[in-house]
Amino acid sequence: MNILVVTQYFWPESFRINDLALSLRKKGHEVTVLTGIPNYPSGSFFPGYGFLKPRYQDYHGIKIIRVPLIPRGKGQGWRLAINYLSFTLSASFLAPFYCRKKYDLIFVCQYSPVTVGIPAIVLKKLKDIPIMFWIQDLWPESLSATGVVRSLWVLRMVGKLVNFIYQNCNLILVQSRGFFPYVKKEGVKSDRIIYFPNWAEEMYKPVALEKNAPEQSGMPAGFRIMFAGNIGAAQDFGTILTAAEKLKSYTDIHWLIAGDGRKRSWVEEQVKSRGLVDNVHLLGRHPVESMPRFFALADVLLVTLKSDPIFSLTIPSKLQSYLACGRPVIAALNGEGARIVGEAGAGFTCPAENPDRLAHTVIRMYQAPEQARQEMGLRGRAYYEVHFKRDMLLDRLEAWMEKIVNEGYYGN
């Protein structure tokens, strides 16, 4: 098949769509990616990239077509809105000129924003190409939940746009079963919605570090709680820092934050103002390839989300990576993510946005025998193998793609 992937984020930005595109290429399909200029999560263009360069790149046999956009910046909601809009407009206008081939299928990977579907619909209308749309983030619900948009009028307009996009897709994939009702209420029939969760790249597996591993350098001694990934509003760092304050007297408990994002400056300021410099350590952003080795240094891995109905339906993509690495997990969240950790027996859970309960759960894990924590990690890895194994999920995706292309099955 000749597949066009439409995504605002792609290599060298670290998203799972990179692995999906590589997998399709290795399976023998021709893959082209229509994307923007990399600027996530730093907010500025990556070194070597600019507003108009480079337009084309090759990534392990995948042709990348880049369109200009305004970088997202840091902190300001208006700047993020301009970033989203600039990609949508430039991709919609330029796609018919840059993407001249006859593609068999358009695969849209929808992190935020949902407007990434508009350039795909433009191409569908012009070239009669079916669209598969993979929802990672529900709009407009997530805009309201994170406080990015408070205007009811704007949220209603976004809702109408979401309805238009969903109605113009042939098949919709959802990363959580909890998304089904929200997609159905937009008038999408059940046979056009399929559960397709995230997985972890092949590099994510249990690692036994050598005694003098370079990752050990600068690491605090003691009990290490590691959070990895985006430092954003949805991840509720206020709760993490308040829990760290409550446990400040436990001088051997250390909170490690590996990642970057729009809230990083705020977290750094809070760590200083709350007197947590000896307890909370920001490790910065590291290549995705090195993360399993960092995970091996942690006694427990932490996943958090804000307490909002929409986030209770979401499975944070880092959770699959945590489980794949065979480390115990503390899940300070509600709904689907907590259910998975509990069902797997992979660690402990507590309600979202509850610093007291998070602190209590950390102490519970801190006091658990090392053998018990190891067994949690093993159970998590076993659960991952059954429910989220990479090759199993990607084989399913390929089969669905072939069914659409060869049989014209699924929708309009």
Per-residue CA distances from 317 to 13, 19, 55, 69, 183 (Å): 15, 13, 29, 26, 20
| Cα angle for residues 285, 287, 291 (degrees, 5° grid) | 90
Element (H, E) at 330: strand 329-332
pLDDT of residue 212: 76
Residue 205 lies in a domain: no
pLDDT of residue 315: 94
CATH number for position 361: 3.40.50.2000
Residue 209 lies in a domain: no
Q: Are residues 140 and 32 in the same domain?
A: yes
Is the Cα torsion angle 162, 167, 168, 173 positive or negative in sign? positive
Classify residue 202 by burial, with Cβ atoms within 10 Å: 0-12, 13-18, 19+: exposed
Q: Are residues 138 and 220 in the same domain?
A: no
pLDDT of residue 310: 87
Please write the tens of the pLDDT for every residue from 274-316. Answer: 999 999 999 988 888 889 999 999 999 999 999 988 899 999 9
pLDDT of residue 407: 84
Is the Cα torsion angle 145, 150, 156, 160 positive or negative in sign? negative
Distance separating alpha carbons of residues 94 and 103, to the nearest angstrom = 16
Residue 54 lies in a domain: yes
pLDDT of residue 410: 57
Q: What is the DSSP string of 129-140?
A: --EEEEESS-TT
Beta bridge partners of 348: 330
Sheet holding 171-174, edge to edge: 56-59, 62-66, 30-35, 2-6, 105-110, 131-135, 171-174, 193-195
Q: Are residues 357 and 345 in the same domain?
A: yes
Q: Are residues 100 and 81 in the same domain?
A: yes
Q: Are residues 98 and 114 in the same domain?
A: yes
pLDDT of residue 75: 59
Q: Are residues 183 and 262 in the same domain?
A: no
Residue type, 213: A
Distance separating alpha carbons of residues 52 and 36, to the nearest angstrom = 10
Question: Coil, helix or strand for 66?
Answer: strand
Residue 158 lies in a domain: yes
Residue 204 lies in a domain: no
Question: Coil, helix or strand for 108?
Answer: strand
Q: Are residues 141 and 163 in the same domain?
A: yes
Which residues, 6+ apart, have CB-to-CB distance to 384 below 8 Å? 200, 320, 323, 324, 344
Please write the tens of the pLDDT for every residue from 311-354. Answer: 999 999 999 999 999 999 999 999 999 999 999 999 999 999 99
Q: Are residues 362 and 397 in the same domain?
A: no
- Structure pTM? 0.90
Q: Are residues 232 and 355 in the same domain?
A: yes
Residue type, 140: P
Q: Are residues 242 and 99 in the same domain?
A: no
Segments forming the whole domain that contains residue 160: 2-199+389-407
pLDDT of residue 412: 47
Q: Which residue stretches of the chain have pLDDT < 70?
A: 75-76, 147, 409-412
**Tokens representing 382?**
């076993």
Q: How many domains does the chain have?
A: 2
**Tokens representing 188?**
């999408």
Distance separating alpha carbons of residues 386 and 400, to the nearest angstrom = 20
Residue 24 lies in a domain: yes
Q: Are residues 22 and 147 in the same domain?
A: yes
